């Protein structure tokens, strides 16, 4: 009897018993905003922008009921850094693990917050998140090893910002005239989605700062006048404490650090953030390129002047995040079963349009989401042919994967892996060239991240265990390069995905959008190895997330990329593209569509 009571008592006070279900209802809507004084339509939530912060605790189940109130665009959300254990269909990338959510429709995301840390969410639908659909996702840890060492938390988001909406920006980029493969360059920098940011800074207190780079393109530097930063976390990996003075956060990366006001402090201290849009800030032969800077303030005395100089950084020397040590001191995974080598170069497709290629091919969206293909083609789901040109990589459950990225271009790029954090065994210096093909002198206790920057003309070596069956994207987190095709797809544990069932609301959105949910990439359920109808060349008309009525969505049997839709769909796409180019975007009324 007493043992039963004791067991019940332990259960009541266990982390599992304390876990909650956190339910959020969101309506994605157009909002008019002018964060830097320039007014434009942005994508907000519940008619507000910036988008709200989500906060829960580890072990909680998060449910987000999402309604698309945009009227003229589809949408979908990725929960960046969340592992999505046993819920790969909730990861969010449209056309990969689910269908886009059409205007007037809804979708439910439901998943476990299995690990604590600083995360964020953003649209993963055709270049949409630069228009504003992104925000912080904080998962608190009741067993935080640094609990008691700080008094308050501060969230600092940094992002580049564009005065134009994303669709015309991508249309201009995906043009044969863009022979330099140039992405859109931002108009300004935002901190916490505004221009005037101040934080209370009280003597005797220590603050935990959660830094999130939500940019579409630019990395960001951070420096706080004369104050050391005690690093405690990067990309939701707890770190052994280490002091830094400057940080470099690429798009999608997060850092948690502690900062204190000490006895000699007085007045107000600047927090300088600068966008890094240089090809390689370490290369002294390249002119400095930091046209967008912003100063936030740590405020000790509101009546004191905000005059400390912030323009005295001529050369940035940020801490090397690959040298940070994980708090758990986990050693390098000693060997690997599967070597994946990806060479990145810009390229031209058969129509002369600029693309970004991995091993010579850009990612091209197919007719059936890859996770649905994996679930419905039986034993053929271990054959990469059935997935079409999404750069598929088949990995067995339990395999140790060594992933090598050779950046064969003249700028650094942040690469993100969904569903995992990887060990960074090596990140070579700029201009080190390709991986030499042998494993030498790796970090014995490597840092773990979900996003790593690979420097110009250089390489990185990553390692992870494939223990999370699903379809997981690996892509550059410069959103413009995603639209150019800089993405691969890990089909992980395909044997465990056979026969997987999907939520009714997810399938209903596919039906509304006219998207098939069974068969190979072309929707062939009879012979999945028949590649007829697969898209092999990216469309030349880019419409982004523009909603095109399903009646115009009937596919033809063409498989070469030049005729992958009906004449009605092509006419609708051309009309939509013309209206977008003329900046006649409609917003704010869910009944208005193109």
Return per-residue pLDDT of the chain as tens, 594 residues.
Answer: 444 343 434 334 344 447 899 999 999 999 999 999 999 999 999 999 999 999 999 999 999 999 999 999 999 999 999 999 999 999 999 999 999 999 999 999 999 999 999 999 999 999 999 999 999 999 999 999 999 999 999 999 999 999 999 999 999 999 999 999 999 999 999 999 999 999 999 998 999 999 999 999 999 999 998 799 999 999 999 999 999 999 999 999 999 999 998 777 888 889 999 988 766 776 656 555 557 889 999 999 898 888 776 655 667 889 999 999 999 999 999 999 999 999 999 999 999 999 999 999 999 999 999 999 999 999 999 999 999 999 999 999 999 999 999 999 999 999 999 999 999 999 999 999 999 999 989 999 999 999 999 999 999 999 999 999 999 999 999 999 999 999 999 999 999 999 999 999 999 999 999 999 999 999 999 999 999 999 999 999 999 999 998 765 444 333 333 334 454 555 555 555 554 444 334 333 332 222
Please compute Rg for the chain using Cα positions.
Answer: 24
Q: Are residues 66 and 214 in the same domain?
A: no
Helices (H) and strands (E) in the chain, counts: 8, 30
Final residue of a structural domain among 494, 518, 537? 537
Does some domain include residue 490?
Answer: yes
Question: Residue 81's closest CA among 488, 422, 484, 355?
Answer: 422
Tally of domains within the chain? 3
CA 185, CA 277: separation in Å to the nearest integer? 8
Identify whether residues 174 and 292 lie together within a single domain: yes
| Residues 432 and 533 placed together within one structural domain of the fold | yes
Residues 289 and 379 in one domain: no
d(CA 215, CA 314): 23
DSSP per-residue codes, 131-183? GS-EEEEEEE-TT-TTTTS-SEEEEEEEEEE-SS-HHHHHHHHSSTT-TT-PP
- Same domain for 113 and 156? no
Residues 280 and 234 occupy one common structural domain: yes
How far from 37 is each of 148, 250, 586, CA to CA, in Å? 40, 26, 21
Q: Which residue range is the domain that position 102 belongs to? A: 18-140
Task: Tell me phi and psi for residue 246, to 5 degrees.
Answer: -135, 145
Query: Do 204 and 278 belong to one domain?
Result: yes
| pLDDT, tens only, 377-415 | 999 999 999 999 999 999 999 999 999 999 999 999 999
Token digits of residue 262: 């000490």
Instruction: Write the Ramachandran bin of 134: left for phi over 0, alpha for psi from -120 to 50, otherwise beta.
Output: beta
Residue 527 within any structural domain of the chain: yes
Residue 552 in any domain: the answer is: no
**What's the pTM?**
0.91
Q: Is 206 helix (H, G, I), strand (E, B) or coil?
A: strand
d(CA 353, CA 562): 13
93: nearest Cα among 70, 84, 115, 211: 84
Same domain flag for 244 and 132: no
DSSP three-state, residue 323: helix
The answer on 471 and 358 residing in a single domain is: yes
Does residue 305 form part of some domain? yes
- Does the residue 12 lie in any domain? no
CA angle 456/289/155 to nearest 5° reads 90
Q: Are 97 and 186 contained in the same domain?
A: no
Residue 311 and residue 182 share a domain: yes
pLDDT tens for residues 50-87?
999 999 999 999 999 999 999 999 999 999 999 999 99
CATH number of the domain to which 397 belongs? 2.60.40.420
* DSSP per residue, 531-580: -TT---S--SS--TTB---GGG----S--SSSS-S-HHHHHHHHHHHHHH
Count other Cβ atoms within 10 Å, centred on residue 212. 27
Same domain, yes or no: 312 and 394: no
Residue 352 placed within a domain: yes
């Amino acid at each position: 009897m007493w043992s039963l009571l004791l067991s019940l008592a332990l259960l009541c006070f266990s982390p599992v018993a304390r876990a909650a279900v956190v339910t959020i209802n969101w309506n994605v809507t157009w909002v008019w905003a002018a964060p830097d004084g320039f007014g434009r339509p942005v994508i907000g939530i519940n008619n507000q922008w910036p988008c709200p912060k989500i906060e829960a605790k580890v072990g909680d189940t998060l449910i987000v009921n999402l309604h698309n109130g945009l009227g003229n665009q589809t949408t979908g959300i990725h929960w960046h850094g969340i592992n999505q254990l046993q819920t790969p269909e909730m990861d969010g990338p449209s056309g990969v693990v689910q269908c886009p959510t059409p205007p007037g429709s809804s979708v439910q995301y439901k998943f476990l917050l299995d690990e604590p840390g600083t995360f964020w969410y953003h649209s993963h639908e055709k270049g949409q998140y630069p228009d504003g659909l992104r925000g912080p996702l904080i998962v608190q840890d009741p067993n935080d090893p640094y609990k008691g060492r700080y008094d308050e938390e501060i969230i600092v988001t940094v992002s580049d910002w564009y005065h134009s909406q994303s669709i015309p920006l991508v249309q201009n980029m995906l043009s044969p005239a863009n022979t330099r493969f140039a992405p859109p360059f931002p108009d300004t920098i935002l901190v916490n989605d505004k221009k005037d940011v101040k934080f209370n800074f009280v003597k005797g207190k220590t603050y935990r700062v959660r830094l999130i780079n939500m940019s579409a393109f630019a990395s960001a530097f951070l420096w706080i006048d004369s104050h050391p930063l005690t690093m405690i976390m990067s990309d939701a990996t707890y770190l052994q404490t280490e002091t830094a003075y400057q940080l470099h956060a690429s798009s999608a990366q997060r850092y948690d650090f502690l900062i204190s006001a000490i006895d000699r402090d007085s007045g107000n201290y600047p927090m300088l953030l600068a966008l890094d849009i240089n090809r390689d800030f370490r290369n002294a032969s390249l002119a400095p390129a930091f046209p967008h800077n912003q100063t936030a303030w740590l405020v000790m005395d509101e009546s004191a002047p905000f005059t400390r100089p912030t323009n005295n950084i001529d050369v940035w020397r940020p801490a090397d995040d690959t040298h940070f040590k994980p708090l758990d001191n986990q050693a390098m995974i000693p060997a690997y079963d599967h070597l994946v080598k990806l060479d990145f170069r810009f390229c031209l497709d058969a129509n002369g349009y600029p693309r970004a290629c991995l091993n010579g091919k850009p990612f091209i969206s197919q007719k059936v989401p890859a996770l649905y293909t994996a679930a419905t083609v039986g034993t053929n789901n271990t054959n990469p042919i059935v997935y079409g040109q999404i750069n598929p990589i088949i990995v067995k459950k339990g395999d140790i994967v060594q992933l090598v990225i050779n950046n064969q271009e003249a700028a650094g790029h942040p690469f993100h892996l969904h569903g995992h954090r990887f060990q960074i065994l090596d990140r070579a210096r700029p201009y080190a060239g390709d991986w030499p093909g042998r494993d030498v002198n790796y970090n014995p206790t490597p840092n773990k991240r979900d996003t790593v920057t690979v420097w110009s003309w250089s390489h990185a070596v990553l390692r992870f265990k494939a223990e999370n069956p699903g379809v997981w994207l690996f892509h550059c987190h410069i959103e413009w390069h995603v639209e150019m095709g800089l993405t691969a797809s890990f089909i992980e544990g395909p044997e465990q995905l056979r026969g997987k069932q999907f939520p009714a609301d997810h399938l209903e959105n596919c039906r509304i959008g006219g998207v098939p949910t069974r068969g190979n990439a072309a929707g062939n359920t009879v012979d999945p190895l028949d590649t007829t109808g697969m898209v092999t060349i990216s469309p030349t008309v880019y419409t982004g997330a523009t909603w095109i009525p399903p009646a115009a969505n009937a596919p033809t049997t063409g498989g070469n990329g030049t005729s992958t839709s009906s004449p009605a769909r092509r006419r609708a796409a051309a009309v939509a593209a013309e209206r977008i180019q003329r900046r006649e975007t409609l917003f704010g009324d869910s009944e208005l569509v193109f």
